[in-house]
Structure 1
Amino acid sequence: MQQKLNKNQWLQLFGLAAAISLFLQLIAIPLIRWGGDQLLLAGENPIVSISSGVRLVQQRPLVAVGILVELAIIALMIDCLSIVWVTGVDFISREIEGKSWLPKLGQVIKEHWISAFWPALLMFLAFLPLFSLCFRTPLLVAGRAPIVFLDYLTRNRIVVAVGVVLYLLVLYLAWRFKRVLCLIVTKQRTLKQALKQLRQSPSHSWSDLKGLLLAAAVTWLVNGLCLLCLQPINQQVQLETVVLVIVNTVALIALVFLLVNWQLADTTVSVDKTELSSLALVLPLLWLGLIAVNDYRYVATSVQPRHVAMISHRGVVDKNGVQNTIPAMQRTHRHYHPDLVEIDIHETKDHRWIVMHDENYKKLTGVNKLPRQLTLKQGTKLVAKENGHQAHVASFDQYLAAAEKAHQRLLIEIKTTGHESTDYLQQFNRKYRRRLLRDHDLVQSMDYDLVRKEKRLAPGLKPVYIQAYDVGGPSKTVGGINIEYSGINQHFVWQTHQQGQVVYGWTVNNAHVADQLSRQGVDGIVTDRVVQMKRAVIHSQRHRQSWRQLWSIINPLSDWSNWQNLASK
C-alpha cells in the first residue's frame, strides 16, 4: 500500500470479515449441511468409493443430480463471497459511503461473477489448507477433507503422486495470480486482460511470502504465550474460554491484515477522516459473542471425562486373526477384553446371514462370488485367509453363539446392496431381536432407511447410523452415530448428546487422534489397536490440564495425526 489505512478503515474491514464469518456460520453452512444431509439420507448410503457413487447414480439419479446442484451452489457461494470481500476492501480503501454498498455490490456481482468464478475457486482450493495451518480460526480448523476420501485416494501411489503434483501446481498458479480476482472485480478487467497485466507487472511474491510468514508468526507467538499462561491452570472454564476467544480473534485479525495487504499492495488509498458506522462495531461484537458461546460450550463439555468404549474393528486386534471370524473374536476377547466387537453381516442367497465385510468373497477367500450368490451352507465352507491366519467364514448364528458363550457384546453392521429380500429386516428382528436385547448388543448400518426402520421395529436396540462424513447435524430418527473420526467436532458431539444419542468414531489407530476424541467427549472408538488406544484415552482422562485442552483445539499437527492414522491402518 502506498499509504496506510486509518483506524476506522481497519475497524470497517474487521466488520466486513465478521459479517462474512457470521453469514457462513449462522446461515450458509447450516443450510448447506442440512441440504447435504437430506440428499445423502435420501440416497440411503453415503458415497465412500467409486462403486458407491455409481450405485447412487443408478439407483437414485435425482439424488445424484441434487448433490451436483449443491456442489455448484457451494462453488457459486465461494465465488460471490470472494467478490464481496474484494469489493468491500476496495470500497473501504476508497471511502465509498456505506449506504451505497448494496446496490453497487449487486452490480459488481452481476457483472463479474462469471469471469471471477475460476480464480475464486482456484484460490479457495489452494489457500484453504495453507491458511488452516497458519490461522486457527474456527472456520479454517473445520475446513479439511474427510479422511475417508483421503484414505480412498491414498491407496494407490500413482494417484497420490498425481494428487500432490496437481495441488502444488494449483498452489503455484494461485500464488502467482492471486491478484487476478482483484483486477477483475475492481479494475473491470476480463480474465484474459487480468492475466496479461499480472505477467507484465511486479509479482510481489517475496514481499507477500514475508507477509504470510509474519502474520503466521504473530498468530503462533500469541498461541504459544496463551499455552504458557495456562500451564499452571487446571480446568478453569472461564479462563480457558477467554484464552480461546483471544486465540481465535488474533488469528482472524492476522488473516485480515494479510489479505488486505495483498490486495492493496499497488493501490493508493484514501486516508481522510472516515466516518465509522455503528454496524462496523456491532458486527465484530456479534462475532465475538458467537465465538465466546461456542468456545465456552466446548470447554465446559470437555472438563469432565467420559467413559470411551473400546470397539474392536471386525474382531481383530493387532492382526491377531482373520477379520470377522470366530477364532479372531475369541482371541481378541480372551487377551484384550474390548467393550464391543464390531462385525459385518450380509444376507445370503437363501435369505440367511453370513459374517463378511466385503461385497465379494474374493479378497479373503479367493472365490469370486457375492454373498447373495451363495447359500449360507456354501458360504460357510469357504476358508478366509489374512494376517498369516486362516479360518472358515462364519454364519451369524455361529458367531452370535460364540460371542454369547464368551459374554462378548457385539456391534453388528447390517450391510445392504439394494438386492436384499423385501422383508429381510422384519425376518432379522423376528429371529434375533430378543437375543440381541438380552446380550446388550447393538445394530448399525450405513443404510439410513434401514436404521430408521430398525428403530421403529426394535427401539430398545438403539440402532446406530454410520456416517462417512459429517454433512449435517445428528438425526433424531436414529439411536446413535458412528462417524468417521475426522468428521467429529465438539459441536457435533454436543448436539448428539443433547438428543440422548451416543457418538462413536471410526477407525482410530493413532494415539493423538484417540486423545483428541476423548477430549471431545465421544462415547467409543472403533480401532484395530485396542491396547494402545485404551492407554491413550486413560492418559487423556488423567491429564485434563487447561493447556492440553487448548492445544487439542488449535493443534495444526492434528491433521498430520490423521495422515499417521491412515498410515497405521
Structure 2
Amino acid sequence: MVGCERRRSNRLFLWTGDDLMKMEKQLVTGWAGVVVLLTSLRLVGTNPTTYGWFGGLAVLTVVLVAWQITRVLASWRGDNLTVKATWWLVWRHWWRWGLAMAWLTLLTLPFGLWGLSSRLLVRLRLPVTLINFVGLHRHVLGGIAIMGYLVLAIAGGYYLPRFLRRIAPYPLPPCQKGWWRSGWWGIGGGFLGLFTAELLVGVAWWSGSRLPESFGRPMTVGLAFLIWTVLSTVGVWLFIGVLRLAGGQPAAFGSPWRLPDWRLLILLILTGGLNAWQAVNQQPQFMATAIISHRGVDAGHGVQNTLGALRHVSKQRPAYVEMDLHETKDRHWVVLHDENLQQLTQRSVMPHDLTLKQLQRLVVRENGYRDHLVGWETYLRAAEAKHQRLLVEMKTTPQDTPHMIQRFASQYGQRLIHDHDAVHSLDYRVVTRLKQKVPRLPVGYITPFNWVSPRSVPADFYSFQRISLSQEFILAAAQQRINTYVWTPDTSVAMARMWALGTNGQITNEASRLRWVVHQPVATQRWAVLQNFVLSYI
C-alpha cells in the first residue's frame, strides 16, 4: 500500500509549482462546474411538471462527473490531460460509466442524492396495480429491499477500486485496502458538515423570536446560502477523498482553498443564492392547518378508537377525528386499528375471528386507561351527536368478505356525505371502489412511503407518510388543487417542519400541541424551513 503511494507520488516531484497550481485550479473549476449543475438540477427539479430541462441537466451532470473523475485519475499520475483526450476516455468507457452512475444513484437515493431524490421520485409514474401491491406488502418487500441494498453497497465497494483502475488513463497498481479507509473518511466528514449545518439552523431558531420580520427573512436566506456552501464543499471533498482512498491515494491534493475560474465562481455564487432564495420562499409554506386527531386520541387521554377517547378529544374541536375500521366475522365493522388484538387485550385474536358482540365484550387497555371496543354504528352516532367530523380509515385483509367496500358504500356513503366526513385507505382498491359507488364522498389515498408521482394514484386528497415527505410531493398535489395531510408528527419540531412544508393538515396523537404550534408567529418558525433544507440533502 505504502509502496504504490510512493511510486505515484514521485511523479509529482517532477512538476513545477506553477504546474501544480494550474492542475489544482483546473480540478477545482471542474468540481465547481459539477456543483453548479447539481444546484441547477435542484432549482429546475422543484417543479414536478418540468421533465425536459430536468432530464437534459441530469445527463449533462453525469457526463461532467465522468469527465471530472477522469481528470482526477490523470492527476494521480502527474498528467494534465487535454480536453479532447479526456472526452475520448469518457466515451471509450461509456457503458462502464453508465453502470457506475446507476450504482451511485441507487446507493444514494435513500439518503437524499444531494437533494435530488424527491425530485426524481415525484416524476416516477408506475401502474396503479404495482404501486398498490408494494404498499400492501411493504414489510416483506422492505426487508428484501434492505438486503438488496446491502448487497449492492458491499459489491460496489469491493469493485470500486477495480472500476477506477479500468477507466484510469494509465494503469494503476491495486490498492484494495483504500476503500475501507474511505468509508471512515466519509462518515467523519459527513458528520462534520451536518453538525455545522445544524449549528446554522440553531442560529435561525435563536434569532427567530428576536429579530423583526423585515430582517428575519433576508437573514434566513443568508443562512440557507451558508448551509448550501457548507454542504457543497463537504460533499465535493468527501467525494474526492473517497476516490483517492479507494485508489490508494492521499486524502487531499494541493491546497483545498484554491478558487475556480472567476467566471465560474460568479455562476456558482448565483446558483447557490438562487437555491437559498428558493428554499426560503418556495410555496406552499405555513398553510392553514387542519388538526386531525390520530385514532381519536389526544396526549394519551384514553384508549385509541374508543368512545371515551372520542368524548375527550371532541372537546378540542379538531377538524377531523381519524379512526379505523375492520370487518368482523358477522360482516359488521369494529372501530379498531390493529389486525391482531394482542397489544390492546393480551389476546392473540383477529377481528374477523369474532362477531361484533364478542369484540365489544373485550376490554382494551392503553395509556393507563381501560375501555371496551365499539362498533362502527355506535361510534358514528356518538360523533354525530357531538357534530364531530370523522376521517375513516378502511382497513382491508385477505379475510374480508367479497364486495365489502361496495356494501359499506351502500350503507354509509350518503350518511358520511351528509356529515361532511371523509374516508382514506392504504389499499387503493378502496379508493377506486368507493369513488365508483359514491362519487361525492371525499376519498383519499394513504402513502406508506413517498416514492412515485401522486398523479399515478388519483385521489381526492393524500395522506402522506411523514418521514419521506418533501415539498415536491406537496407541490405536485397542490398543482392539481388536491389537499395533503401528513401522518404522524407528534413532536413540536416535526409539526413545525410539516407546517413549513405547506401541508393542509396533520394527523397527530398530540392535537393540543399541534394547535399551539400552528398558532405561533411564522417568523419564529422559519428555522423549520432551513431544517427541511438540510434534511433534503441527506
The letter for the 1-side match of 2:487 is: W
Aligned to 2:33: 15
The TM-score normalised by the length of structure 1 is 0.65
Distance 2:404 2:508 in 1: 29
User: After the TM superposition, which residues 59-98 of structure 1 pair with which residues of structure 2 at under 5 Å, given as runs?
Assistant: 86-87=69-70, 89-90=72-73, 94-98=79-83
Distance 1:548 1:481 in 2: 26
SS of corresponding position for 2:213: coil
Native 8 Å contact 2:118 2:472 kept in 1: no
Aligned to 2:478: 497
Native 8 Å contact 1:227 1:550 kept in 2: no
Q: Per-residue displacement from partner, 1:503-542 (whole Å, max 9, x unpaired)?
A: 1111221111111111222122122222222222222xx1
- Alignment partner of 1:427 is 2:407: yes
- Alignment partner of 1:320 is 2:301: yes
User: After the TM superposition, which residues 453-492 of structure 1 pair with which residues of structure 2 at under 5 Å, given as runs?
Assistant: 453-475=433-455, 477-492=458-473
The letter for the 2-side match of 1:14 is: A
Aligned to 1:535: 516
Aligned to 2:431: 451
Aligned to 1:108: 93
- Alignment partner of 1:442 is 2:425: no
- Alignment partner of 1:138 is 2:156: no
- Alignment partner of 1:405 is 2:389: no
Aligned to 2:531: 552
Distance 1:557 1:14 in 2: 20
Native 8 Å contact 1:489 1:520 kept in 2: yes
Native 8 Å contact 1:345 1:355 kept in 2: yes
Q: How many residues of Structure 1 are paired with residues of Structure 2 in the alignment?
A: 471
Corresponding residue to 2:503 among 522, 536, 542: 522
The letter for the 2-side match of 1:552 is: Q
Q: Which has the higher helix share?
A: 1
Corresponding residue to 1:306 among 273, 287, 308: 287
User: After the TM superposition, which residues 78-477 of structure 1 pair with which residues of structure 2 at under 5 Å, given as runs?
Assistant: 86-87=69-70, 89-90=72-73, 94-99=79-84, 101=86, 104-108=89-93, 110=95, 138-139=115-116, 182-183=164-165, 185-186=167-168, 193-195=174-176, 232=211, 234=213, 244-245=224-225, 247-260=227-240, 263=243, 265-266=249-250, 291=275, 294-295=278-279, 298=282, 300-302=283-285, 305-334=286-315, 336-475=316-455, 477=458
Unaligned regions of 5+ residues in structure 1, if any? 34-78, 154-158, 270-274, 560-569
Q: Per-residue displacement from partner, 1:536-560 (whole Å, max 9, x unpaired)?
A: 2222xx142585355333466999x
Q: Per-residue displacement from partner, 1:300-331 (whole Å, max 9, x unpaired)?
A: 432xx432222222112233222211122112
Change (3 A) 1:425 1:10: same
Native 8 Å contact 1:465 1:481 kept in 2: yes
The letter for the 1-side match of 2:370 is: Q
Q: CA deviation at 1:186?
A: 2.9
Native 8 Å contact 2:341 2:347 kept in 1: yes
Q: Per-residue displacement from partner, 1:41-72 (whole Å, max 9, x unpaired)?
A: xxxxxxxxxxxxxxxxxxxxxxxxxxxxxxxx
Distance 1:194 1:410 in 2: 63
Change (3 A) 1:512 1:379: same
Native 8 Å contact 1:15 1:281 kept in 2: no
Change (3 A) 1:11 1:103: same
**After the TM superposition, which of the residue ranges 472-481 and 5-14 deviates more from structure 2?**
5-14
Q: CA deviation at 1:399?
A: 0.7
Change (3 A) 1:293 1:426: farther
Distance 1:432 1:414 in 2: 13
SS of corresponding position for 2:388: coil
SS of corresponding position for 1:301: coil
Native 8 Å contact 2:299 2:512 kept in 1: no
Q: CA deviation at 1:237?
A: 6.5
Q: Per-residue displacement from partner, 1:14-61 (whole Å, max 9, x unpaired)?
A: 22344466679979x989x9xxxxxxxxxxxxxxxxxxxxxxxxxxxx
Change (3 A) 1:22 1:182: farther
Distance 2:168 2:519 in 1: 56
Aligned to 2:59: none
SS of corresponding position for 2:423: strand
Q: Per-residue displacement from partner, 1:380-404 (whole Å, max 9, x unpaired)?
A: 3333333333333211111101111
Change (3 A) 1:440 1:7: same
Distance 2:344 2:200 in 1: 52
Q: Per-residue displacement from partner, 1:228-269 (whole Å, max 9, x unpaired)?
A: 998745267677557635542453244224433564554989
Unaligned regions of 5+ residues in structure 2, if any? 1-8, 13-19, 52-61, 121-134, 255-259
Change (3 A) 1:394 1:492: same
